[in-house]
Structure 1
């Protein structure tokens, strides 16, 4: 089964919103379609062509556009590639089903290979939020041959996602409809970003995803990661117990560093965008130095 919009009108509406938000992309960029066996994957490249490459993976239904608040700073010294994940709404076109976590890793491997072919570098740095963090870690547990390092922000794979996440999502969505002045009082981060991405999120709800479940990482899988990895979790996350994640990983793998950010939730990238940008840049510098 392939992911698809419910109808043509829903698809047209989504891409009209997509193109409107794309106008906010803060730096010059090129659109590339990297061929994979699951279909062509759209990536948006920007920054100096000879800069160390960073591949950005969004949260579910976020698309590459969710990275627009971070791009200007990330692309100063790095060649940055923001990905429209296959099997989700976006400019990537799924032509074959993604049926397993192995397929997810194979798809991302082919994307990474395409990026490296474009840059001439030997390795990339992976950075992902939520499902994007899971995608990055899912590949790193299997092979790091082409990976310099990983940063995963509020990544899935450390706890069962259930009712708490649903209720949190509903509360968060309600906030996005508040006036900007009130949103500033009740939520951290820039209210303009929430208002900008809100129509894209709702348009994306008309897309029927056909993707495998994100499995929980085993100790053996996490212990197999052999590149510098930073996992950033929100203290009040609703998809896992942040302190338990930190305690579990503390003695499991010396390559993994965990940071628990106080007073933040699963929306950490919206609540602390400057921190997310800084952690990606810090981790990329650390990976380049090792």
Structure 2
């Protein structure tokens, strides 16, 4: 087992954080107009809460949440998939949500083992995978250690390939974050969310992100940057989607490296967006994902 197993009952929340964040979580679920099952699965890494939706006979798709975010927010980006596919969206252990709170390492095989245990619980041998940001970094760990589990994958604004400018992240994210935590002033939160979303983030998401910043001990470790050698046995069709204005993982930094390290990269799609996609970009993204899945899954 990787590091992070059997850790005691630590918490990632400060003061009333858990109540606030789970309240946002539940409200988000209520905004969906389809049935969602909420299932708990015991794994070696801790108890995992999973949202399951879509036709039971549909082909399976696992969707992993972005880091320091809540699962229904990420799931809301990919709702068209629920019409046709059986969607499994786990709350990442150690991130905001209903799963256990001990941190897992995104540098070793922990996430691959964790996913295998979730798949075994549902009797799924292999599946399609979709992950934005940190969630894409998790999928790349699975591609490294258990490539045969992946029928095809969609990596949106992916962590785990290349990072954007550290200086820009410090100036436009970290400094305003320190000031926001110190003052709770909406102007600093607005600066961060405007940078993250290219000025497109909705009011509800902004409030949730603000509460995560204030009340959650943020995951600060990015998933390991994946090497070409690690993916030498991974041959599943892969689609990458990246934003030109993404401060964390900009298209300009990802494009060349992704083409070098991912053997069966079907397409690398670029959108004129930030790290958080706008409603308009989501329409395009989902159209491209459905087309990719129709062709390769």
What is the TM-score normalised by the length of structure 1?
Answer: 0.81
Q: CA deviation at 1:147?
A: 1.6
Q: 1:107 aligns with which of 114, 121, 145?
A: 114
Aligned to 1:163: 167
Q: CA deviation at 1:4?
A: 1.7
| Contact kept? 1:64, 1:82, Cα under 8 Å | yes
Aligned to 1:125: 128
Which protein, 1 or 2, shows the higher relative CO under an 8 Å CA cutoff with sep ≥ 6?
1
State the distance in 2 between where 1:245 and 1:235 align.
Answer: 10
Structural RMSD (CA): 3.0
State the distance in 1 between where 2:41 and 2:119 align.
Answer: 9
Which consecutive unaligned segments of at least 5 residues does structure 1 have?
179-183
Question: Aligned pair 1:287/2:291, yes or no?
Answer: no
Which consecutive unaligned segments of at least 5 residues does structure 2 have?
1-6, 177-186
State the distance in 2 between where 1:251 and 1:214 align.
Answer: 19
Q: 1:25 aligns with which of 28, 32, 35?
A: 32
| Contact kept? 2:52, 2:89, Cα under 8 Å | yes
Question: Aligned pair 1:196/2:199, yes or no?
Answer: no
| Contact kept? 2:28, 2:73, Cα under 8 Å | no
Query: Which digits, 9 at most, give the CA deviation of each residue in 1:112-139, with x for residues without a partner?
Result: 333x42xxx4321110000001111121
Aligned to 1:4: 11
What is the TM-score normalised by the length of structure 2?
Answer: 0.79
Aligned to 1:228: 237
Closer, same or farther: CA 255–172 of 1 in aligned 2, 3 Å = farther
Q: 2:67 aligns with which of 60, 69, 76?
A: 60
How many residues matched? Answer: 273
Aligned to 1:181: none
Question: Aligned pair 1:137/2:145, yes or no?
Answer: no
State the distance in 1 between where 2:68 and 2:279 align.
Answer: 15
State the distance in 1 between where 2:278 and 2:114 align.
Answer: 25
Q: 1:207 aligns with which of 205, 213, 216?
A: 216
Query: Which digits, 9 at most, give the CA deviation of each residue in 1:87-111, with x for residues without a partner?
Result: 10101124x5524432122222222
